Structure 1
Amino acid sequence: MANTTSAKKATRKIARRTIVNKSRRTQMRGAVRTVEEAIKSGDREAALKAMRKAEPELMKAAQRNIIHKNLASRKVSRLTQSIAKLAK
């Protein structure tokens, strides 16, 4: 348990940031899930539309250190490749 005033404040601050980060992570995962579902259904147009929303979500999450930047880049790359395969 925190003893000093600054440690108590840091604990409160961390709790507030955790709530915000959980919300952002959930929003990002939902956007990615939408793309993945569109890919599974084989609907290229829906996948492209969902990807336009998912890519900024992933990159914002990476900028805000919710996920690692390489993870965001890798997810974008793999989703884009999957969408490209739908065209063939």
Structure 2
Amino acid sequence: MANSAGSRKRARQAEKRRQQNASLRSMARTYLKKVIKAIESGDKAAAETAFKTAQPVLDSSVNKGIFHANKIARHKSRLSAKIKALA
């Protein structure tokens, strides 16, 4: 455990950030899973709706530094290609 007051505070802040980041990461993954599930069911309308609701969540997770920008861009590209292939 940290000894000085400043390092104890840093440890508290780091733990708070870790928990918040874990929550945001989990939420983004859940939205991705919802889109994938809609695609697998073959329902194009539901997949498009799920994708539209997932996009802002994924983009905000990039802005907050939860995921790398290229990773989210890759996911969005592949999902939109799969949705278009449902037609």
Please say whether Structure 1 and Structure 2 have the same fold, judged by a TM-score greater than 0.5. yes
- Measure the CA separation in 1 of the matches of 2:53 and 2:10: 34
TM-score (norm 1): 0.93
Q: Equivalent residue of 1:79, what SS?
A: helix
Aligned to 2:28: 28
Give the unaligned 5+ runs of structure 1. none
- How far off its partner does 1:4 sit? 2.3
Q: What are the within-5 Å matches in structure 2 for residues 1-88 of structure 1?
A: 1-87=1-87
TM-score (norm 2): 0.94
Q: Point out 4+ residue stretches in structure 1 off by more than 4 angstroms.
A: none
Q: Equivalent residue of 1:3, what SS?
A: coil
For residues 13-39 of structure 1, give each alpha carbon's deviation from its aligned partner in whole angstroms, at most 9, with x where no partner exists: 011111111111111111110000010
- Measure the CA separation in 2 of the matches of 1:39 and 1:61: 22
Q: Equivalent residue of 1:58, what SS?
A: helix
Give the unaligned 5+ runs of structure 2. none
Alignment RMSD (CA, Å): 0.9
Give the number of aligned pairs: 87
One-letter amino acid of the structure 1 residue matched with residue 15 of structure 2: A
